[in-house]
Every structure is written in structure tokens, then in C-alpha cells.
Amino acid sequence: MRILAPAIALALASAGLHADDQFAPLRDAMVREIAAMSSVTRAETGRAEFAASVMVAMVRVPRHQFVPPDEQPYAYENRPLPIGYGQTISQPYIVALMTDLAQVGPGDVVLEIGTGSGYQAAILAELAQAVYTLEIIEPLAMQARERLGRLGYSKVRARLGDGYQGWPEHGPYDAILVTAAASHVPPPLIAQLKAGGRMVIPVGAPFMTQYLLLIEKAGDGSLSTRQVLPVRFVPLVGGG
């Protein structure tokens, strides 16, 4: 934990957090738990620790703003939480892992499939040049767009749409993150992934084994796929 302490301190300072912010210690504790888990899962993920930029983003983004009011006391627990309409906000460790695997940099344009409450999009906005995010459930899409705007995430463009089809107008993308489990990798998303880009997507049937996949597209368009670890996500809704 000593390695990450300076990054955490920098994030707390740059986020303008202060002593009367009741959630600051909880965010700090959440990030420390994520760091501990990353060490435990290094054999599966290949990552003993996540990038400092990812950990800073996890501290900076106020997760309690992305959950319903009755879930706010639990916002910094390392587990998924319900956000309504049968959907969840992902476990913080999984958000950090997916972000780390995507290797998002300052000049990158990123596509997210499954906006949900907007939390993953906000994390990506801390790292990328632009984030485009799609949500197929209309009330969630409208709420997330209002929330992200209110919290100042101007790098994020969110809209209602079928994530299976992607958002080709703004592609190709340096990274694509899918936050719901698909039965297979959607071909339109592969087509919208830039050469040299990375896609992180859970694949598998509901209530059965799902695996988080890392897909990398080479310069010649060929793909390499690696199973990272077993996960459990709500199913991807959309055509295919």
C-alpha cells in the first residue's frame, strides 16, 4: 500500500476534498481494498497493481453520487449495488480492473456500452479525451445524462441507444468497455474498435459462468482474445 499512498493523497488534494467531506475516508478505504484485491488476483489478471492514474480516478469520482439515496451509506463498499430497473452499478474492483485493462490514455476516444448510473463513464472521463456512452433503458439513460452534466463531466456524451450496434459516428475507438454480459462479442463493436485498440467485455449466459475478456485488435485487423477472470454481470439488452 505504500506505493499507492502518494497517488491517493494527490487525488484527494486535487479533488478539493477536505476534512468535513464524510465520504473522503471511505473512498480512500475503497481504493486500498481494490489495491489489495489486485495483488490477490494477479495470477488471473496479469496485473499485480493497477495503474496509478486508474487509482486516482477511483478516488476522485464520488461513487455516492451515482447510486440511489437509500444506497448511499453503502456506496464505498466493494460490491455492486442496485440502481433500479433490474440493473446494478458494478463492484468498484471490477470497474478499476476493466479500466486498467483498457489502458485508456489522455488522447483516447472511448466507447462505453451500458451507461447505467454513469459511474464507469465518469471514471473513464478522468482519463480519456472523450467518452461516448449508450444505455438502452430510457429512464437510466436520461438520469445518467443529467447526473453527468450536473457533476461536470463535460467529456462524456451519453444517449439512449442499442449498445449492440455501438455508436459508429464517433469511431473508431481506442477502447471499448461493455458493462453487461453478452452471449457473444458483437461484430459491430469489433468493427468500431481502432487498430491497436482494446475491448473489455464480459461474455456468457445469465446465471451461468461468464468471463471477462480482453480483446486486442492488431494493426492488420487481426484479433487476440484473453480470458481474464470469471465475473457476474446483468445481461446485455439489444439486437443481435
90 counts as catalytic: yes
DSSP 211-233: EEEEEEE-TTS-EEEEEEEEE--
Neighbour-count burial of 58, counting CB atoms closer than 10 A to its CB (0-12 exposed, 13-18 middle, 19+ buried): buried
- As given in the structure block, the three cell numbers for residue 215 are 480483446
* Alpha-carbon distance values, 121 to 53, 75, 89, 99 (Å): 15, 17, 11, 10
Classify 128 as helix, strand or coil.
coil
Cα distances (angstroms) measured from residue 47 to each of 51, 63, 82:
9, 24, 28
First vs last C-alpha separation in the chain: 44
CB 6 within 8 A of CB 56: no
Q: Kindly report the pTM of this predicted structure.
A: 0.91
- DSSP assignments along 17-28, one per residue: --TT-TTHHHHH
Cis peptide before 6 (omega within 30 of 0): no
Which residue among the candidates 38, 53, 90, 117 is catalytic per the annotation?
Answer: 90
Residue 130: what are its φ and ψ, rounded to 5°?
-155, 145
* CATH fold for domain 5-231: Rossmann fold (3.40.50)
pLDDT in tens, the chain (240 residues): 444 455 555 555 555 444 457 888 899 899 999 999 998 988 888 888 899 999 999 999 999 999 999 999 999 999 999 999 999 999 999 999 999 999 999 999 999 999 999 999 999 999 999 999 999 999 999 999 999 999 999 999 999 999 999 999 999 999 999 999 999 999 999 999 999 999 999 999 877 789 999 999 999 999 999 999 999 898 888 765
